[in-house]
Amino acid sequence: MSSRDRAAANQPPPLVGHNVVTSDVALVEAVTRHAGAAVVDDLIGLGEQAGSAEAREHGLLAHRHEPELTTYDRYGNRIDEVAFHPSYHWLMERAVGFGLQAAPWEQQAEGSTTAHVRRAAGFMAWSHTDPAHGCPISMTYAAVPALRMDEALAKEWTPALAATSYDPGIRPLAQKRGALAGMGMTEKQGGSDVRANVTQARPTQVEGEYTLHGHKWFTSAPMNDVFLMLAQAPDGLTCFVVPRALPDGTRNPLDITRLKDKLGNRANASAELELDGTLGTRLGDEGRGVRTIIEMVAATRLDCVLGSTALMRHTLNEAAWHVAHRAAFGGLLADKPLMQNVIADLQVEAEAATALAVRLATAVDAADDPHEAALRRIALPLAKFWVCKRTPGFVAEALECLGGNGYVEDSGLPLRYREAPLNSVWEGSGNVNALDVLRALSREPEVLSAWITEVGHGRGGHAGLDRAVDETLALLGDTGAHEGDARRLAGRMAACLQGALLVRFAPAEVADAFCASRLGTSYDGTYGTLTSSAADLRAIVERATPVVV
């Protein structure tokens, strides 16, 4: 028999044909307790499509054929258009169709109390297909709470942003069945310090209208229909609504100088922009730009947590599936005690991230509740710091479970490895979020009360949790004097929140493993060092392994 006719031996079958929602036990449990079984049922179709061979192929193709910028048309007209592969549009059409962009805000306004949990779970599940196209979906989701600063602008844009019709192309809003939003906040000289922005906003003779003059250093999805941008108006830093096309059909002057050559997220275009007479409408008062975008920042931080959690779950699925089907040293890898420890440890991490992510989405659904609002204020930067910071090491460990098979592009894991640091950088680096925790604690006393209440629900469930909470409270003694300790404090507070959720809701073996390791005194961050019993490890690994029906 020729080698070309011989099937490869000891290779796992491709992980396709599984439902990424129903296979994720921790996600199903979290959504069920916070939103009900009906919401899980509503997501089954999304989960099935996200785990299909077709979706996997589109995700790989969207990255293999990257966006291309055309600055001028054949006649020399400036057009600044970015072209995407059809697979990118396939992914976007379904993400919008499932209502993963701004639809939850409209659903919540219509009386839904679970719209944001549904959307969070759907966003995590659909991210299994490809993480990059989630960026324009996230920005559209986050734009709506900022637009609500101006009733007229919200009324103009929200219905199109919330529409479940994907309608790409540069055309006036009146000609669109649905719209997407982007953001242009940072500049080359300031980065996260947006108060250092130098782009000028000059008032025109039309009330509320300005022309923008300057640049934007990192604007993702430049083909979206509308952008929120910061610029210096006469009375200070101000937020503006900047459409891509003007109502008369002409294009707003917005020059794309180049697309970013990024580490990951390559299916999504990110651009440098030059603004010279670009029309924008003021959103909020002059000089109140940062306050205007606060709710937008909160929404994008939530999606950073959701996206990182999805990366954990996807790469763990691949690792657990591989070791369940790959034999080495006389037996299946999944039966080897040390490999069981690694997979179980990864599962514990992913469960903790999932529990916290869905809990945060619940707080958005209950935004009018004072405790939920205070918890969201403190828990979002905590989770953004901690979960996103944990993701690169997690993805590397999951990739290692596949050995060389995980190091090749066809596995999809190198793509995720390059993606893993993104959410720690976007919407404020780790330092920015850790310092924001200190700022909230010093200025808003209700946020500490909310954290104490939330972790208090898990008190008595595990000695390690109780000890960690007490130690954290001691560390909180004088937050204003300990900027250098901000990361340690943020990580500890986030881990305590995760531990409290697991103690309350997860199986005992999962909660015990988390508290004994992450909240223990000897944990060094290395995966595969749990001290759980063999039976407990096997039970945790079973929760990690996808089921293909």
Sign (positive/negative) of CA torsion 430, 126, 311, 271? negative
pLDDT higher than threshold 70 for residue 480: no
What pLDDT does 4 receive?
65
- One domain for residues 402 and 477: yes
- One domain for residues 224 and 322: no
Answer yes or no: is 14 within a domain.
Answer: no
Distance set, CA 138 to CA 95, 102, 288 (Å): 11, 8, 23
* Residue 141, amino acid: Y
- One domain for residues 372 and 493: yes
Specify the CATH number for the domain of residue 209.
2.40.110.20
- One domain for residues 91 and 137: yes
What pLDDT does 524 receive?
87
Answer yes or no: is 273 within a domain.
Answer: yes
Residue appearing with tokens 């039309």:
206
What pLDDT does 386 receive?
98
Instruction: Give the Cα separation of 494 and 496 in Å (integer).
Output: 5
Answer yes or no: is 549 within a domain.
Answer: no
- One domain for residues 87 and 52: yes
* Segment (H or E) for 56: helix 53-64
Strands 226-233 and 181-184, sheet pairing = parallel
DSSP labels, 299-311: HHHHHHHHHHHHH
Q: Provide, rounded to the nearest whole percent, the portion of the chain with pLDDT above 70.
A: 98
Identify the DSSP state of 19: -
What pLDDT does 427 receive?
85
- One domain for residues 189 and 315: no
Write out the residue range of the structural domain in which residue 176 sits: 34-289
- One domain for residues 59 and 121: yes
pLDDT higher than threshold 80 for residue 7: no
Banded pLDDT at 3 (limits 50, 70, 90) = low
pLDDT higher than threshold 90 for residue 335: yes
pLDDT higher than threshold 60 for residue 1: no
Banded pLDDT at 2 (limits 50, 70, 90) = low
Residue environment code for 321-351, b if the CB has 16+ CB neighbours within 10 A, otherwise e: bbbbbbeeeeeebbeeeebbbbbbbbbbbbb
The set of residues, in sequence order, having a beta carbon less than 8 Å from that of 338 and lying 6+ positions away, is 528
pLDDT higher than threshold 80 for residue 92: yes
* Segment (H or E) for 241: strand 236-243
What pLDDT does 522 receive?
81
pLDDT higher than threshold 80 for residue 481: no
- One domain for residues 312 and 165: no
What pLDDT does 367 receive?
87
- One domain for residues 138 and 244: yes
- One domain for residues 210 and 340: no
Answer yes or no: is 29 within a domain.
Answer: no
Whether the Cβ atoms of residue 459 and residue 510 lie closer than 8 Å to each other: no
- One domain for residues 274 and 338: no
The domain total for the chain is 2
Answer yes or no: is 448 within a domain.
Answer: yes
Banded pLDDT at 28 (limits 50, 70, 90) = very high
What pLDDT does 112 receive?
96
Mean pLDDT lowest among 21-35, 136-150, 308-322, 464-478: 464-478
Whether the Cβ atoms of residue 272 and residue 257 lie closer than 8 Å to each other: yes
pLDDT higher than threshold 90 for residue 5: no
Task: Report the pLDDT averaged over residues 460-488.
Answer: 87
Task: Report the pLDDT averaged over residues 191-203.
Answer: 94
- One domain for residues 223 and 332: no
What pLDDT does 483 receive?
86
pLDDT per residue as tens digits for the range 125-162: 999 999 999 999 999 999 999 999 999 999 999 999 99
- Helix, coil or strand: residue 358: helix
pLDDT per residue as tens digits for the range 219-245: 999 999 999 999 999 999 999 999 999
Specify the CATH number for the domain of residue 442.
1.20.140.10
Mean pLDDT of the chain: 96
- Helix, coil or strand: residue 453: helix
pLDDT higher than threshold 80 for residue 304: yes
Of 234, 257, 289, which residue sits at a domain end? 289
